[in-house]
């Protein structure tokens, strides 16, 4: 578990991060979201001590990060930035091998790890290991950036606007990939973004920051239904709120008994997807299938609409 305990950063008289506390459970993805200049990057950089806190502390599994030598701490925490900062003079394999080399892993182990990561990120080792960063597309660079950060199996992965440099289509694919990899590795991730859609799409929990302060730290559904104040409410977007809520809810939650015509939808898909299909096909209900493909009931427009508003 990562405990962020009353972290504060002051530059001269300005407070850039003010008294921020929250905990990140192991194996979860926490998104820090807020407008530009809110202090998100500074908060993130205090976790790996690229910025020294003016007050407060960070505990990783109960261990105060100040007791760990800076460089050693950073070897244990992966770090991905917008633009990635790949080393232009090193090829993909050498880029990924950076931290394992700093840790003096033996060569065979490094080579194995690099290959494993390239596979994981769907980059064919034979093709990509010896390419240089400038020979890669934006999406490939991004994957190498994340692979490099994961190379030494860090306890925690920090990501600062990791998708900021990608165009919309590649970005949503990269986001899905990140979720898949996070689930698969059970990694603990803290990700910074200014994009609310991204926050809702990725976050198990979301920390909303504004003007140096943490306004709310909650699950996406809580954020929608019980925003802490007007600012959060405006930030989550009053117009998109119902659709966001539907995106967060799986079909299973609105399952009812009965029969419906048409192609079945999986119980794990979101109500947002179900509604979209219903609108497009002009039907009132769709059959619902479980993971084995067996029909387990149906989902109807009326039932979905009930989920698109806060519970009384």
Partner 1 sequence: MTATSLVRLIAFLLLAAFITMPQGFAFLFEPLIAPGAPAIYNQGSLLVLTLQHLRTVCLATIASTVLAVALGIFVTRPSGAEFLPLSRSLVNIGQTFPPIAVLAIAVPLVGFGEKPTFIALFLYGLLPIFENTLTGLTQVSPLALEAARGMGMNARQRLVQVELPLALPVILAGIRLSVIISLGTATIGSTVAAKGLGEVIIAGLQSNNIAFVLQGGLVVALLAVLIHDGLGLVERVAARKLGRFLNEVP
Partner 2 sequence: MVPPRPALSFDHLGFVIAVLIGIALFAAPFATYRATRIASGEARLVIEALPFSMAAALALVALGVALGAVLARDPLGRLGSAVIGLAVLLPSLGLSAGYLTPADNNFARVSPSLGFWLLSLSFSLLAVDALARMRLGPFGRLAALAVGASALALLLLSGIWDDLSILKEYDTRADSFWREARQHLLLAFGSLAAACLFGIPLGVASHRLRTLRTAVMQSLSIVQTVPSIALFGLLMAPLGAVAASVPLAAALGIRGIGAAPAFFALFLYALLPIVANTVAGLNQVPAAVVDAARGMGMSARQRLLGVEMPLALPVILAGIRIVLVQNLGLATVAALIGGGGFGAFVFQGIGQTAIDLVLLGALPTVALSFGASVVLDALVDLSKGTTPA
Ligand X SMILES: Nc1ncnc2c1ncn2[C@@H]1O[C@H](COP(=O)(O)OP(=O)(O)O)[C@@H](O)[C@H]1O
Helix%, strand%, coil% for the chain, nearest 5: 40, 25, 35
Nearer to ligand X, 51 or 156 (CB): 51
* Distance between CA atoms of residues 20 and 38, nearest Å: 12
Interactions with partner 2, residue window 7-46 (CB under 8 A): 11-12, 14
C-beta closer to partner 2: residue 41 or 300: 41
Q: Residue 163 contacts by C-beta under 8 Å, 6 or more apart in sequence? A: 142, 171, 174, 175, 193, 198
- Which CB, 89 or 108, lies closer to partner 1? 89
* CA atoms of 206 and 196, how far apart (whole Å): 10
Report if residue 71 touches partner 1, rule: CB under 8 A. Answer: yes
Please state the closest distance from residue 199 (CB atom) to ligand X, in A.
13
What is the DSSP track for 165-194? TS-HHHHHHHHHHHHHHHHHHT--EEEEES
Give the number of residues in contact with ligand X, rule: CB under 6 A: 10
Please check whether residue 7 is in contact with residue 58, taking contact to mean a CB–CB distance below 8 angstroms.
yes
Q: Does 16 bind ligand X (CB under 6 A)?
A: yes
Instruction: Give the one entry of Mg ion, ligand X, partner 2, none that residue 38 binds, where binding means its C-beta sits below a cut-off of 5 to 8 angstroms depending on kind.
Output: ligand X
For tokens 């989902």, what's the residue? 299
Between 12 and 282, whose beta carbon lies closer to partner 2?
A: 12
Report the nearest approach of partner 1 to the CB of residue 74 (Å): 3
Residue number, 46 or 251, with CB nearest to Mg ion: 46
Identified binder of ligand X from the candidate list 37, 85, 262, 310, rule CB under 6 A: 37
Alpha helix locations (H) across the chain?
40-47, 70-75, 92-96, 98-102, 107-120, 125-128, 138-150, 168-185, 196-202, 220-225, 230-236, 241-248, 271-281, 301-307
Residue 115's contacts (CB-CB under 8 Å, 6 or more residues apart) are 125, 129
Name which position in 31, 39, 171, 235 contacts ligand X (CB under 6 A): 39
CB burial string 233-270: b at 16+ within 10 A, e below: eebbeeeebbbbbbbbbebbebbeeeebeeebbebebb
- Tell which one of 16, 31, 34, 41 touches Mg ion (CB under 5 A): 41
Q: Does 81 bind partner 1 (CB under 8 A)?
A: yes
Shortest Å, Cβ 227 to partner 1: 33
303, interface contact from Mg ion, partner 2, partner 1, none, CB < 5-8 Å by kind: none
| Shortest distance in whole angstroms from residue 142 CB to partner 1 | 13
* From the list ligand X, partner 1, partner 2, none, partner contacted by residue 310 (C-beta under 5 to 8 A by kind): none
Q: Give the per-residue contact string, 120-149, with partner 1 (x = CB under 8 A; - = no).
A: ------------x-xx------------xx
Which residue in the set 4, 29, 93, 99 belongs to the binding site for partner 1 (CB under 8 A)? Answer: 99
Phi, psi dihedral angles at 232 (to 5 degrees)? -65, -40
- For partner 1, the closer CB: 75 or 307: 75
Is-contact 186 180, C-beta < 8 A? Answer: no
Residues that bind partner 2 (CB under 8 A): 11-12, 14
Residues that bind ligand X (CB under 6 A): 11, 16, 34, 36-42
Residues that bind partner 1 (CB under 8 A): 48, 50, 70-75, 79, 81, 83-89, 98-99, 102, 132, 134-135, 148-149, 158
């Amino acid at each position: 578990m990562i405990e962020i305990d009353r972290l504060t950063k002051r530059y001269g008289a300005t407070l850039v991060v003010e008294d921020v506390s929250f905990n990140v459970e192991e194996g979860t993805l926490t998104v820090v979201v807020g407008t530009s200049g809110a202090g998100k990057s500074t908060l993130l950089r205090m976790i790996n001590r690229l910025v020294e806190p003016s007050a407060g502390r960070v505990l990783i599994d109960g261990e105060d990060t100040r007791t760990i030598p800076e460089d050693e701490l950073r070897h244990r925490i992966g770090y991905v930035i917008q633009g990635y900062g790949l080393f232009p003079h090193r090829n993909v394999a050498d880029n990924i091998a950076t931290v394992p080399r700093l840790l003096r892993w033996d060569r065979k182990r490094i080579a194995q790890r690099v290959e494993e990561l390239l596979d994981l990120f769907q980059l064919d080792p034979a093709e990509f290991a010896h390419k240089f960063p400038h020979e890669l597309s934006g999406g490939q660079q991004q994957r190498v950036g994340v692979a490099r950060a994961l190379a030494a199996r860090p306890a925690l992965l920090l990501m600062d606007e990791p998708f900021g440099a990608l165009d919309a289509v590649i970005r949503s694919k990269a986001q899905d990939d990140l979720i898949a990899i996070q689930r698969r590795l059970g990694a603990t991730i803290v990700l910074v973004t200014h994009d609310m859609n991204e926050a809702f799409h990725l976050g198990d929990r979301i920390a909303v920051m504004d003007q140096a302060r943490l306004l709310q730290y909650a699950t996406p559904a809580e954020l929608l239904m019980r925003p802490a104040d007007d600012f959060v409410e405006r930030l989550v977007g009053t117009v998109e709120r119902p659709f966001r809520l539907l995106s967060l809810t799986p079909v299973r939650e609105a399952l009812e008994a009965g029969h419906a015509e048409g192609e079945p939808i999986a119980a794990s898909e979101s109500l947002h997807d179900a509604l979209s299909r219903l609108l497009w096909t002009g039907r009132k209900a769709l059959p619902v299938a479980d993971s084995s493909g067996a029909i387990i009931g149906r989902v109807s427009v009326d039932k979905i609409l009930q989920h698109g508003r806060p519970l009384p």
